[in-house]
Homo-oligomer: A and B are copies of this chain.
């Protein structure tokens, strides 16, 4: 591979002049610029990313730390990875994928080895141990998820609390006074997954405020048991006719389970949900729901990180993405 020295020799100029052309930081007269560009073309030269990184101490790459929860709906992850990568590329950055089980070790390794300029963390939980090394090193990072204590690290997420309130309001406005709250597995709440906790807390509070009686129904981790529990749930005539769903597996299965029992939406059951956009698209889910906005979240995450890289000492920012309710007519007035 050609180096900057080869280009310089070919063009009959010094290495530093070639560098000026490459970085665009200094003026170069058109004739010499053209000679250099011709040489670059001829030698098929392209800057060595590692060497540039060493010289500028900027790697132009971002680490994305994902943590794999059994209880989570993993396909949503792919969407985030792709959207993050696309957003990062807009700024000329690449994504380095960090998947090891021990996220803290991954974070430490990246900070110590200077392999990335910044980090983006996914799958956050309250009290997440990955925050401490970041905070104490003052390393540029953005959280996707909103823990109770962000430890002064930039963060962004969908406003799950607002989403929960919208859905509760929608049921109440239609006249419902009872609803089943179909939840994630208890393990997810116990782990402190921020989106699950924030949604649930806000839903409960809003239900109290609006006089909606909420029957909480956490579901198992295993999909076959989810299906079984859902079937039982919808078969039981004593259960509420309205359902507030925050569980992707359940959201995907529910229309089928209802249909199996000959129950119609919204005639027999009113359903509102917040589930991954990926899932909705894939299964053509047709219930009134809050959109999860992975693209917007990813873009803001990258944007916040860029800001942080350019202003390391700016004060931390937490940004909530305003959710929007997609009406699909899955809620009717109770009989």
Neighbouring B residues of A253 by C-beta, 8 Å: 256, 283
CB contact under 8 A between A74 and B78, given known A46-B112, A53-B50, A59-B50: yes
A96 CA to B174 CA in the complex, in Å? 49
CB distance from A55 to the nearest CB of B (A): 9
Closest to A259 in B: B260
CB distance from A184 to the nearest CB of B (A): 14
Closest to A106 in B: B89
Size of interface on A: residues with Cβ below 8 Å to B: 56
A32 CA to B95 CA in the complex, in Å? 39
Neighbouring B residues of A100 by C-beta, 8 Å: 86, 89
A257 CA to B278 CA in the complex, in Å? 21
A136 CA to B81 CA in the complex, in Å? 30
Instruction: Tell me the A51-100 residues at the B interface (CB within 8 Å).
Output: 51, 53-54, 59, 61, 64, 66, 68, 73-75, 77-79, 81-82, 85-86, 89, 94-100
Neighbouring B residues of A98 by C-beta, 8 Å: 85, 94
**A48 and B114 contacting across the interface, CB-CB below 8 Å:** yes
A46 CA to B108 CA in the complex, in Å? 10
CB contact under 8 A between A49 and B97, given known A75-B78, A81-B81: no
CB contact under 8 A between A113 and B48, given known A75-B278, A82-B68, A256-B259: yes
Neighbouring B residues of A95 by C-beta, 8 Å: 96-97
A229 CA to B44 CA in the complex, in Å? 52
User: Does A35 make an interface contact (CB < 8 A)?
Assistant: no
Neighbouring B residues of A286 by C-beta, 8 Å: 224
User: Does A33 make an interface contact (CB < 8 A)?
Assistant: no
A222 CA to B284 CA in the complex, in Å? 8
CB distance from A283 to the nearest CB of B (A): 6
With A81-B81, A94-B97, A223-B283 given, name 9 new contacts (CB 8 A). A48-B54, A49-B115, A74-B75, A75-B278, A77-B78, A78-B78, A95-B96, A222-B284, A256-B259
Chain A interface (Cβ within 8 Å of chain B)? 1, 44, 46-51, 53-54, 59, 61, 64, 66, 68, 73-75, 77-79, 81-82, 85-86, 89, 94-100, 109, 112-115, 222-224, 226-227, 249, 252-253, 256-257, 259-260, 278, 281-284, 286
A-B contact pairs, 28 of them (CB 8 A): A46-B109, A46-B113, A49-B113, A50-B53, A54-B54, A66-B82, A73-B282, A74-B78, A74-B278, A75-B78, A81-B97, A82-B99, A89-B99, A89-B100, A94-B97, A94-B115, A95-B97, A96-B97, A97-B97, A222-B284, A223-B281, A223-B284, A224-B286, A226-B284, A252-B283, A256-B256, A259-B260, A260-B260
